[in-house]
Structure 1
Amino acid sequence: MANKVKAVLIGGTGYGGSEILRRLLFHPHVEVVRITSVDNIGKKVGDVHFNLAGLTDLSFQELPPVQAVAGADVAFLAMPHKTTAKVVMELLASGVRIVDLSGDFRLRDAAAYAKYYGVEHPAPHMLTEGSFTYGLPELNREAIRQARYIASPGCFATTIALGLLPLARAGLLSGPIHTVAATGSSGSGANPQITTHHPLRASNLRTYKPLEHQHIPEILQTLRAAGANEDTSLEFVPVSAPLPRGIFATSFAEVPAATTQEQLNAAWKSAYANEPFIRIIGGGRQPEVVGVAGSNYVEVGFTLGPVTGATRRVVCFSALDNLVKGGAGQSIQSFNLMMGWDERLTLAEPGLWP
């Protein structure tokens, strides 16, 4: 293992940490050397993440950040928003590469961070300077290859942005977008809450943070970087769904009345024809969660509506696994690119069917 990249996972007891380990423990170029946490200290990985029992002798440790990354090449940070930024500030002098799964370094606007995350950012200059590269390969692949610090996108942000990215790149996205997206319970984290308690979730649908979700500015930032008009806005209603994994997003946008089905087919093909994890769904089927759950793949599709005055509506659909392409898998995809490897390493296998 002398030639392998040494990786540390900081914040390893959550579902995101489990998914990172499920992939990295089998990565041909990586050795996971340390896993830290604030709970389950001293327990073996398999005693917390039952699916990983017997696959590693590593245990969860409680260590200061600088000590945690000693001798490591890369640190994956799977900690809550607001906590992560302070840890990053301690790690910068160490020289370790960072892949951050929190929302603390995704935005470029410190005021938007303060508004949507409810606190002032401890290092606002790092946002405006773009110290972290936004880790959406379908948008920033070349920048990711040159990066040392990756801000991995949020689960809703990835789903919704990938559903709309072809319109943005084709110069067809402007004005208001309306999105409803349903997410699985694993997105709420490993610690039980009233909203993730099985009897209250298994047969239920409920919204939360309507029009106020913290991924709204992230989605708009992504779409504008891809070519959306500056007047593009987003009204987003997230929904808690009775499934463990997956996100399904439905987004409504208006395009010029002259837009044709052929133009949109070409836009989707141009955006995604060479993307290893994007599946354009058509031919009578629409995207669905069961096709991607447990995998790093994304299903996208659209329906073009009739002309109404100067515009016609496009309804964009997208589905992915919130823990994989919406979280840990995408962070590893960006890590692979950053290290100059095939981005599909440990991610190419399909999900379960059914």
Structure 2
Amino acid sequence: MSKDKIKVGIVGGAGYTGGELLRLLLNHPAVELVFIHSKSQANKPIYSIHTDLFGDTDLLFTAELQQEIDVVFLCLGHGDAQVFLQEHSFEHSVKIIDLSQDFRLKKDGNPFVYGLPELNRDQIKQANYIANPGCFATAIQLALLPLAAQQMLPESIHIQAITGSTGAGQGLASTSHFSWRANNLSVYKAFTHQHLGEIGESLSQLQPQTKSAIKFIPERGDFARGIFVSIMMESSLSLAELQEMYALYYNPHPFTHFSEDAIHLKQVINTNKCLISVDKHQNDVLITSTLDNLLKGASGQAVQNMNLLFGLEEKTGLNLKASAF
């Protein structure tokens, strides 16, 4: 094994987030993949599941865990990561980046740092354990952080956000079948989506006295990947003041960009970028944000957090090409 590379293990490498992580880390110049754990696919080639990787790697899935690693990514289902860590342990020096929702909320005894770099970059650099944010949560928080930082979140925030089918994971469900999803649109978990908890905690971190009521309507879209968020609220700030606020807040952050022009989904698909735009009509403000749910909303952000943990330039291994058409 190379001594100058970060030695990485992946647990749950057969799913969507595990596959995206593999695609990124196989091309990361500072990483050596040590194992890709999957009980269901043990001893099979990686490309037998992630068929696009045929010709790129001869690595096999394994049911065994190795300890000689620097960091492990947990790409398990919600609820499964906590159980896995109860049943398995790693050396204290091994850093853990969890992509499930199991450790995102602040609780007594929870040692995980919430891994949203645009909010917690300094804490991430010093952490041992990272809870990677949810995809909807990332897109919504990035759209609201500049206002929260200035204590300017209003009392009422209305959010409509549409996500692609990969947001539901690789397991089959009636609403993820092509014949149901194609040419279709539907609402789910209106007002009750599980990402509301982490969104509230992050906004309160910047605006502690916030009493904002967030009314969130998630929708399933007729496409594979990506999230597009539309946020409506009232504000007395001028459009120029809002634009300056957003541009200044995100100036130090390499993956989140403020655009004065209207944005669209294809600008971010297959990238680790989040784009944000603001418009205003009379006293009504529209904030839009968009990202790839599997990259900036999951595996790309996890690699971004790994780069911060190990003192690498934040964009290392993440200079990705968008699908413009």
Same fold by TM-score, threshold 0.5 exceeded?
Answer: yes
- Please list the CA deviations of residues 227-266 of structure 1 after superposition, one character each: whole Å capped at 9, or x if unmatched: 26421221111100011110000111232x3x22222122
Which AA in structure 2 matches 1:107?
Answer: L
Alignment length, in residue pairs?
A: 323
Does the Cα contact within 8 Å between 1:246 and 1:320 map onto a contact in 2? yes
How far apart, in 1, do the equivalents of 2:310 and 2:149 lie?
27
- Pairing of 1:256-295 with structure 2 (within 5 A): 257=236, 259-282=237-260, 285-295=261-271
1:314 matched to 2:285? The reply is yes
Change (3 A) 1:91 1:225: farther
Q: Which moved more, 1:50-59 or 1:18-27?
A: 50-59
| Other-structure match for 1:162 | 142
Over the aligned positions, Cα root-mean-square deviation in angstroms equals: 1.5
How far apart, in 2, do the equivalents of 1:24 and 1:243 lie?
25
1:304 matched to 2:280? The reply is yes
How far apart, in 2, do the equivalents of 1:93 and 1:55 lie?
29
* Structure 1 segments of 4+ aligned residues over 6 angstroms from their partners: none
| Other-structure match for 1:5 | 6
Does the Cα contact within 8 Å between 2:274 and 2:296 map onto a contact in 1? yes
Report the TM-score when normalising by structure 1.
0.88
How far apart, in 2, do the equivalents of 1:131 and 1:4 lie?
26
1:133 matched to 2:134? The reply is no
How far apart, in 2, do the equivalents of 1:222 and 1:17 lie?
26
| Other-structure match for 1:351 | 322
How far apart, in 1, do the equivalents of 2:226 and 2:40 lie?
26
| Other-structure match for 1:112 | none
- Please list the CA deviations of residues 154-213 of structure 1 after superposition, one character each: whole Å capped at 9, or x if unmatched: 000001111111111122103121111000001111222211111111100011111111
1:329 matched to 2:300? The reply is yes
| Other-structure match for 1:102 | 100
Q: CA deviation at 1:30?
A: 1.0
Which AA in structure 2 matches 1:132?
Answer: F
How far apart, in 1, do the equivalents of 2:13 and 2:250 lie?
33
How far apart, in 2, do the equivalents of 1:69 and 1:143 lie?
27
How far apart, in 1, do the equivalents of 2:148 and 2:240 lie?
16
Change (3 A) 1:19 1:13: same
- Please list the CA deviations of residues 263-300 of structure 1 after superposition, one character each: whole Å capped at 9, or x if unmatched: 21221012112221112122xx3121100001001110
Which AA in structure 2 matches 1:279?
Answer: H
Which AA in structure 1 matches 2:258?
Answer: I
Q: CA deviation at 1:38?
A: 3.0
Which AA in structure 2 matches 1:329?
Answer: G
- Please list the CA deviations of residues 54-111 of structure 1 after superposition, one character each: whole Å capped at 9, or x if unmatched: 2222211223xxxx14211110000011111122334556212100000011111xxx
How far apart, in 2, do the equivalents of 1:224 and 1:348 lie?
32
Does the Cα contact within 8 Å between 2:113 and 2:131 map onto a contact in 1? yes
How far apart, in 1, do the equivalents of 2:160 and 2:108 lie?
30
Which AA in structure 2 matches 1:336?
Answer: N
How far apart, in 2, do the equivalents of 1:253 and 1:244 lie?
29
The secondary structure found in structure 2 opposite 1:94 is coil
Report the TM-score when normalising by structure 2.
0.95
Q: Sequence identity of aligned pairs in percent?
A: 38
Gaps of 5+ in 1: 109-126, 307-311
How far apart, in 1, do the equivalents of 2:174 and 2:245 lie?
43
